[in-house]
Amino acid sequence: MAGVNGGRKGKKDDNGIGSAIDFVLSNAKLVLGVGGAAMLGIATLAVKRMYDRAISAPSSPTKMDQSGKRSWEEPSWLGSSPRTLNRDMKSNISRSLQTLPTSSHTFEPDALRRAVRRPGSAGVDLQRAKLRLSLQEHLWAFYRERVLIPAQEQAQARRAALDICAELRVFLHAKLPDMPLREMFLSGSLYDDLQVVTADHAQLMVPLILEKNLWSSVPGEDTIMNIPGFWLVRRENMEYFPRGSSYWDRCLVGGYLSPKSVLEVFDKLVTGSINWPAIGSVLDYVIRPVVPSETLTLEVQYETDRRLYVDFLPLLVMEDGVSLIAKPHRLAAERHQNLWRQSFRVAETARLRALDQEDGGCRCVCLKVAKAVCKLNAPLTRLNAGQLTNALLLLSESEGDWTQEALAHRFLQLLRALVGHLEAGRLPCALSPKVNLFCELTAQEVDELGYTLYCALSDPESLLRTALCHDSQSSISQSR
């Protein structure tokens, strides 16, 4: 330690921090092993250099080095995420150690020197350019090999969904001819060409007909619950049109049309009255209701190794054009069982496609890559398509270059934007900023998502590697 202290002559007193760092490094190998100690050494040396620059700052802040920049200034590439890094630090550090690289090439002397090289030189700029090019190539390879769904698979899934829709339409019209419904239709990412990895999900929209003078919609923010993005559908004119005047009065709860009660009506019909085994044998499918499910969902096995999940979603289209679906609030389904969820999906998808058509951009490609990464990385499965779409639309408002060559840069920006939204605990809807698309995430989920994405910023290709590994393991398990 005397040698270490002697080598620090001429610098300001650091209160023993240098000694502490050296002590940690000298004992890291015993605790973390060779690989962990090497990675800790890289990180610690970088911190040490930053600290040395800070304590050796010139007395005059105007004193510059030859490059015109303060030599003690913090590097511009360093970011901070105090909320994400401070919460549950012990478990976070343990998870970080589990993701340390294990290849011996990572810890070779040349690699170590590159890792701690001072930013700002032409060599580092060239290295960064090469890394960006490498990420660009990996993203496009991942998009072609894992994200895109073969046209034949999409066609088979659409045909299976169409068969189920036709059977339900015939049954409901025959069983309940007086039920006021508009024509059912299929929807979802399978029909917008935005589904990724596998064609496994579709939505069957069931539009209900409400009498104009008997029902009115109330925004969630105008109620005591104060939840933008959710609506109440109130029964009106009860004194002139008593209960029973509308077919849907049977689904009233406390004077409001309950989406839960509406789903229960359809659930009794779809799961209790339809002979799905018989229909499946005719169609050569295996059809069964999914239990439990937050919505009414059918599982359709149309090939030996392929399944399609069809969500049965009652839909209300109000006079002002607001679309409401019977999908309950995730965190308060019982307390908010009368709330209908406002759907922005059609308008969001249309805006995204319109922007890409205007400039030949890569927004849809970037969205599909992000969706696949979240689908195949277990810690990110809580990020849904709507949240990713809106984060990308918000990013489009501040960034103009969406050419195909900018995919890697925009993907990284999307990750940074998501980290920022998670730290703020709020992701505004691009079409209605008062709606917080993170309102159904718990605090723990927000922290886990933020931590995972924050770590991925330093090695974004790790998300692709994890996704590829998950995809390979799924293929192996399905083949057994």
CATH of the domain at 450: 1.10.1410.40
Q: Indicate if 422 and 459 belong to the same structural domain.
A: yes
**The total number of structural domains that make up the chain:** 2
Q: What is the pLDDT, as a whole number, of residue 337?
A: 83
Q: Indicate if 366 and 246 belong to the same structural domain.
A: no
Q: Indicate if 233 and 270 belong to the same structural domain.
A: yes
| 150 DSSP 8-state letter | P
Q: Indicate if 361 and 212 belong to the same structural domain.
A: no
**Cα 462 → chain centroid:** 16
Q: Indicate if 393 and 305 belong to the same structural domain.
A: no
Domain membership of residue 443 (yes or no) is: yes
Angle at 450 between CA 447 and CA 453, to 5 degrees: 150
The pair of structure tokens assigned to 149 is: 């769904």
Domain membership of residue 369 (yes or no) is: yes
Q: Indicate if 447 and 413 belong to the same structural domain.
A: yes
Q: What is the pLDDT, as a whole number, of residue 206?
A: 96
Q: Indicate if 258 and 404 belong to the same structural domain.
A: no
Short-list 77, 43, 74, 39, CA closest to 412? 77
The pair of structure tokens assigned to 465 is: 């590697």
Q: Indicate if 230 and 250 belong to the same structural domain.
A: yes
Short-list 368, 379, 372, 367, CA closest to 449? 379
Q: What is the pLDDT, as a whole number, of residue 47?
A: 53
Q: Indicate if 388 and 276 belong to the same structural domain.
A: no
Domain ends where: 324, 342, 360? 342
Domain ends where: 323, 342, 361? 342
30 and 16 in contact (C-beta within 8 Å)? no
The pair of structure tokens assigned to 338 is: 């009368």
The pair of structure tokens assigned to 229 is: 């993005």
CATH code where residue 179 lies = 3.30.460.90
Q: Indicate if 310 and 164 belong to the same structural domain.
A: yes
Domain membership of residue 413 (yes or no) is: yes
Domain membership of residue 24 (yes or no) is: no
191 and 342 in contact (C-beta within 8 Å)? no
Domain ends where: 288, 307, 342? 342
Domain extent for 288: 151-342
Domain membership of residue 27 (yes or no) is: no
Domain membership of residue 384 (yes or no) is: yes
- Tell me which amino acid residue 439 is: C
For the chain, 480 residues long, give each residue's pLDDT as a single digit of tens. Answer: 444 444 444 444 445 555 555 555 555 545 455 445 445 555 555 555 555 555 544 444 444 444 443 333 333 333 444 444 444 543 443 444 344 443 333 333 343 334 444 455 555 566 555 555 689 999 999 999 999 999 999 999 999 999 999 999 999 999 999 999 999 999 999 999 999 999 999 999 999 999 989 999 999 999 888 899 999 999 999 999 999 999 999 999 999 999 999 999 999 988 888 999 999 999 999 999 998 777 899 999 999 899 999 999 999 999 888 999 999 888 876 677 899 999 999 999 999 999 999 999 999 999 999 999 999 999 999 999 999 999 999 999 998 899 999 999 999 999 999 999 999 999 999 999 999 999 999 999 999 999 999 999 989 988 988 766 655 444 433 333
Q: Indicate if 325 and 353 belong to the same structural domain.
A: no
Domain membership of residue 477 (yes or no) is: no
Contacts of residue 286, defined as CB under 8 A and 6 or more positions apart, other chains included, come to 280, 300, 301
Domain membership of residue 68 (yes or no) is: no
Which pairing describes strands 306-317 and 201-207: parallel, antiparallel, or unpaired? parallel
Residues 292 and 215: their CA atoms lie apart, in Å, by 31
Short-list 441, 345, 425, CA closest to 393? 345
Q: Indicate if 233 and 262 belong to the same structural domain.
A: yes
pTM for the whole structure: 0.72
